[in-house]
Chains A and B, each alone.
Chain A
Amino acid sequence: GAVVSQHPSWVICKSGTSVKIECRSLDFQATTMFWYRQFPKQSLMLMATSNEGSKATYEQGVEKDKFLINHASLTLSTLTVTSAHPEDSSFYICSADSGSDTQYFGPGTRLTVL
């Protein structure tokens, strides 16, 4: 149980384009999902907390207009990186709260912006 999926697992795009990443909880409903970013050899950095049916809460320094988050249902949250640039290249990981204060992570999406 407690499986979280992400799609796509790997994406390469040109600078200036937008990329959408999906995060799904497959066997449980998640009222809260989280989006993290991880640069090579660094720890996870929380970007935003996503609650179903409401606006996401962004961490300090994260541009909400650049990283659009939509939590449309109890099993799906999306992160759209708008006008991506090479410095946005990173490993993006979502997690979902199962309701027991435990977060389960998706497999991650590796974004490379050329």
Chain B
Amino acid sequence: QKEVEQNSGPLSVPEGAIASLNCTYSDRGSQSFFWYRQYSGKSPELIMSIYSNGDKEDGRFTAQLNKASQYVSLLIRDSQPSDSATYLCAVDAGNMLTFGGGTRLMVKP
């Protein structure tokens, strides 16, 4: 069974710090990787997608992928209280997403 693992947290960081969110996956055939942000009571919102090894930066967000280690991470620089949410890692191995359980991030002013 395809699995995506995340630390449930909560991960607490002070405002302005870097938040590091990690995710591992079991299916070596996975090709596409996504990070979604979900605020309480809301649906997930796509933040980043990454398809090849290395880093991909978009504003304050950087996604990192290491297929050999089956590991994908999300870095949030200059964390803001508005970044407080649950971050879901999702892995696509053939037109279907498998979600991790999510990591709850708390950014304290």
Contact = CB atoms under 8 A, between A and B. Distances in A.
A105 B101 contact: no
By size class, the interface of chain A is: 10 to 19
Interface in A77-114: 91, 93, 95, 97, 101-108
Contacts of A103: 34, 46, 90, 97
A32 interface: yes
A49 interface: yes
Interface of B: 31-32, 34, 36, 41-46, 49, 88, 90, 92, 95-97, 99-102
Contacts of B95: 32, 49, 97, 101
A108 B100 contact: no
Contacts of A95: 97
Contacts of B96: 34, 46, 49
B14 to A, nearest CB: 25
A93 B43 contact: yes
Given A95-B97, A101-B95, 15 more contacts: A32-B95, A43-B102, A44-B44, A44-B88, A49-B95, A91-B41, A93-B43, A97-B95, A102-B34, A102-B49, A103-B90, A104-B46, A105-B44, A105-B45, A108-B42
30 contacts: A32-B95, A34-B96, A34-B97, A42-B101, A43-B88, A43-B102, A44-B88, A44-B99, A46-B97, A49-B96, A91-B41, A95-B97, A97-B95, A101-B32, A101-B92, A102-B32, A102-B34, A102-B46, A102-B49, A103-B46, A103-B90, A103-B97, A104-B46, A105-B36, A105-B43, A105-B46, A106-B43, A107-B42, A108-B42, A108-B43
